[in-house]
Structure 1
Amino acid sequence: MNIIEDNEDEYEIIKIDLQIFKEELKKYRENKNTIPNNIQLKYNEIVSNYNCFNLKYDPKSVWEKKRYKNMKNNNNNNFKHKLHIFTPPNNNNKDNKLLIGLLNKITTTNEEIITNKINQIINKNNLDLIDIVINYIGKKYDVLYLKILKIFEKYDKNVVYNYIKNYVEKKTWYPYSLIKEKNILENEYYDDYCDYIKWKNNQLNMLKILYFLYKDNNNMYDDICNNLSNDIYDEIDKGLNNNEYKYLIDYLLELLEILKEKINEDIIDKLKKYNLKKVDSSTKFLILNITKN
């Protein structure tokens, strides 16, 4: 190989024997797909220490989450999007069947007609039908169903209050053991994750019922809202201090956000003192949304 050096102001020209060039080119082509040993060792180390590199793509899970997101964002009252709950074939309770059939049909267009028919079904002797209406609201929050709920108060002014009070006192909203003990976002808990989403939506809608009732009658529901917001905050505080699963903390914050107008200043001040640099962006967003004026 000959090297010819020209003036300092000019580029150097390197001449390589043609045979040497061909041999080097051949080596390059033969080895271009070979991974260097140090890179291969680093790859093995990463794969063995970080589970995320071993996760398989789960189209079923992706589809479920996408479907849920679309369903959540769809708030129109078109009949084709309405919730339908069907009675079992052996259900002989006439009032149950009639009420469920009418709830399946109600829209903003036929609201008056359907409401009048429901008024003819509900009376002081079948107030247990309230379970059906609340079940509907739990699955799909809709003001139309809330208006139906108020019909029961004509026959017993405390029937709705007692239902909500019982819900709060039993802490039905409290996360159940599986979602506290296991990370249900892992692939092996796919079915449990789907169950959790349904359960979570039900609890969020139950608190929306409470907030609706509070706005309608502040005095009656004031204490319930105060006690519940305090209980929820206590669980949030425990979760943040014990580094519980993020989805649990966010769920509790979503509950608290619904009661935002009823949260006392002491809770707001405590939330403002958390170091938001240590929490994920979604958790940070929820806390800021609750504490902002």
Structure 2
Amino acid sequence: MDSQRALFLRRMSKPKSTKGFLLLLVVVLAVTIFQDYLQSRYQSYSFYFSESLLFNLFWVLILPVTLLLRYTFRKARIILRINSKWAVRSLFVLVATILHLLLFSLLVFSISGLFYDHTFGFWRNLVYSVSNDLYKYLLIYTAVSLIPLEKPTDTKLQIPREHPDFLLLQTGKKTEKVATDSILYISSATPYVEFFTAEKKYLQQGTLKSFSKKLDPSVFVQIHKTTLVNVQKVNSIISRGNGDYDLLLINGHELRLSRNYVYDFRSKFDRAHSG
């Protein structure tokens, strides 16, 4: 019953967070439009709701720009090669600010040209935004960049899962009890799966995916579509210069780390060897 409740809460968390953000967005828009109204009364000039709404669309663009860049940064190979998280964050702030400035100027230009009596020029609006509001963009996206790319796991909702300390593996006609921490790596050899320790190789029926679900994912990490490696048994990582890496295991054996799995491997390798 507890596990079912945890799954339900996980599924409900996304809609709630989305509704919360939309509510916050509506409140921010309302407050900024009201601020424009008060300023117009104070300085004795006409207030136009449509124009105030148009220019406050600045806030609406924050979410799509953030989601687009965070997705791009997770997937881009060049980003994965940057070891400094502050360099990545600085690059994110710079790119997000430039993209937001361009999109906002284009949005104001397009909407005013289609629905308003006069058009707000693209370059004029861009220059105005840079000269008057640049600090807002930098502050907002600096704050956004401090949010981790990977959503932290909520330990209260996490479903307990036990990982075996050993596996029963076959060697010839004999079945042996093999400690999981003695396994160096696992390789797919359809329709079998090969388990390698420092002393032996074991051939087992099954699929790489089925065994990966049984083992601790923080220890046995996928480095290729056909290979899982025990990160605790990796001594060093050597770049090939093309996005791929060579992993040197404690027994001197080398494995290839495909560029598609670099980000996940590096994060788990760093955690495994941080102590």
TM-score, normalisation: structure 1: 0.23
Which structure's CA Rg is the greater one? Answer: 1
TM-score, scaled relative to structure 2: 0.24
- Please state which structure has a larger fraction of its residues in strand: 2
More helix by share: 1
